[in-house]
Structure 1
Amino acid sequence: MKDLFLFSDLIVHSHSFVYAFHFLLITLIIVFVARMATARMQLVPSGVQNIVEAYVLGVLSMGKDTLGCEKLSRKYLPLVATIGMVVFFGNAIGIIPGFESPTSSLNLTLTLALIVFIYYHYEGIRENGVIKYFKHFMGPSKILAPLMFPIEIISHLSRIISLSFRLFGNIKGDDLFLMVMLTLAPFIAPLPAYALLTLMAVLQAFIFMMLTLVYLAGAVTIDEH
């Protein structure tokens, strides 16, 4: 979005700074929302507390359905809920004129993908042990094990590309689409686009959270597979 005004350009005109500026901004927004939700806790929630509690309960429900038990869902709630908020606010901030989505940069999407990749393997090894965990890469048949193991390794490595490039590609495309709309008709045409891009921001956050839960379920619940 080089042709459009960005508030970050008033400080330093640099791609790296633009990314760092907007990532820091969404971090501050998340901290502010969390602070607002917990500042005056009420038995009957209202306002920001109500929204955040609904979000947390939704993530817990997703985790319970995917992982099979509430205990595991609560265990991985901090990771999944935080990723969801980072992705959503990272997507949504680019809709506001003068700002750019940090999720339209591979710096953030690849970092999130690597965090998920490393963490679910760590949890799989911690829950099942090194031998048992990597043994399930070989499949149920010993005859096919030499073929299945490298396929599984490639499959797991491809998840890094899938997670990072799916989010990066979609949000980069959304930013370019919005840029074109703002350039052609800055006052009328973008209005329907804002609703569509907001929906996409929510959808991409949901997909990233769901895939994280699916990968965690595949790593820690080997016996059920």
Structure 2
Amino acid sequence: MNLWRLPHVQLAPEIIFTIPGINWPVTNTLFCTWISIVVLVLLFFFATRRGDMVPRGIQNAAEALIEFLMNLSESITGKKYARKFFPLAATFFFFILVSNLLDVIPGVDSIGSISMEELHKVGAQPSLFLWGDASNALIPWIRPATTDLNLTISMALIAVVTAQCVGFATLGFKEHTMKYVNLRGLLKFSLTGFIEFFVGLLEIISEVSRILSLAFRLFGNIFAGSIVLAVFAFLLPAVANVIFIPFELFVAAVQAFVFALLTLIYLQLAVTGHGHEEEHGEVELGQASAEGSHAAQAVTTH
């Protein structure tokens, strides 16, 4: 008999209980989502309840993060759209960060109920602590929310669909649609026009790929990190605590930042009209010519 077995790896979240009356199954990732929301509400309650002119403690940390995200938003979208796009990106950042950080809390993925089916397979009896062949018969009550592909795809859909809605509202239906179905290029009846039309169709594929990219990047990194922590906690417990937990903290913050960053980029691209870069370049060229003319006049006068 083995002293300990490697943890059972399952992509789909496990159902831990069902809400009576409405017969709604609750998975361990959904339960962790609720915990993340409660943690966020409590954090921002304690961060904003005093409102000191000289912030300290949790208020200081919250204001520093808010200022960092606002500066990031302004650097990507400009001051014109920064305050409009900031709430969505900041919400993604804080929710993903808290959800990811819960992965290193003791009890997550390690406390739960016993799968009787797995116990019967190995002929073991239920006990308070599982060990031996029955050591991986645990159904954890709490599993990081971002290890659920349903959640990451939902957030990716919100980001991409919101960007499209903002694009239609800002540019108008015709201008925004021309990014993807460039009929003007097709009506040129030339190779260049056909290429422009084909590039527009590629943009449609690009929009779909953004959903997959956002969802699978976040899911893959956090799910893999959970497995690495579980495996190395079994093989080398001391090494796992010293090396992999700080590394997971770093990955948790990076993944939250990347998701918020890409959301801001997608929103900015959505409000950028077709041919904006050419117009912007012409304006800059005109300004440079005017400045050169003024400089030449000043030299002549002098």
Which of the numbers 162, 167, 173 marks the counterpart of 1:119? Answer: 162
Q: Which 5+ residue runs of structure 2 have no aligned equivalent? A: 1-5, 19-24, 109-142, 186-191, 278-302
Alignment of structure 1 residues 131-210 onto 2, 5 Å: 131-137=174-180, 142-210=193-261
For 1:194 and 1:224, how far apart are their aligned partners in 2? 46
Q: What is residue 3 of structure 2 aligned with on the other side?
A: none
Aligned to 1:85: 94
Specify the code of the residue in structure 1 equivalent to 2:258.
I
Q: Which residue of 2 aligns with 1:75?
A: 84
State the partner residue of 1:105.
Answer: 148
**Residue equivalent to 1:39:** 49
Which SS does the other structure have where 1:76 is aligned?
A: helix
Greater mean deviation of Cα atoms: 215-224 or 56-65: 215-224
Cα distance between partner residues in 2 of 1:149 and 1:71: 27
Shift of 1:138: 5.0
* Distance in 2 of aligned mates of 1:127 and 1:188: 52
Number of the residue aligned with 2:29: 19
Q: How many residues align?
A: 218
Cα gap change, 1:144/1:48 in structure 2, threshold over 3 Å: closer, same or farther? Answer: same
Q: Does 1:129 align with 2:154?
A: no
The structure with the larger Rg is: 2
Q: Say which structure is richer in helix.
A: 1
Task: Give 3-state SS (helix, strand or coil) of 2:194's partner.
Answer: coil
Structure 2 CA distance for aligned equivalents of residues 3 and 36 of structure 1:
38
Q: CA deviation at 1:137?
A: 2.8
Q: Structure 2 counterpart of 1:42, which letter?
A: D
Relative to structure 1, the CA distance from residue 3 to residue 144 in structure 2 (aligned partners, 3 Å threshold; closer, same or farther) is: closer
RMSD: 2.2
- When you count strand as a share of all residues, which structure comes out higher? 2
State the shift of 1:189 in Å.
3.1
Does the CA-based 8 Å contact 2:164-2:270 persist in structure 1?
yes
Q: 2:229 touches 2:240 (CA, 8 Å); kept in 1? A: no
* Identity level (%): 31
State how far apart, in whole Å, the 1-side matches of 2:157 and 2:62 are. Answer: 26
Distance 2:101 2:266 in 1: 25
1:52-67 equivalence runs, <5 A:
52-67=62-77
- Could you say what secondary structure the match of 1:44 adopts? coil
Q: Which runs of 4+ in 1 moved over 4 A?
A: 1-4, 138-141
Structure with larger RCO (C-alpha < 8 A, sep 6+): 1
Query: Partner amino acid for 1:194?
Result: I
TM-score (norm 1): 0.89
Q: How far off is 1:106 after superposition? A: 0.5
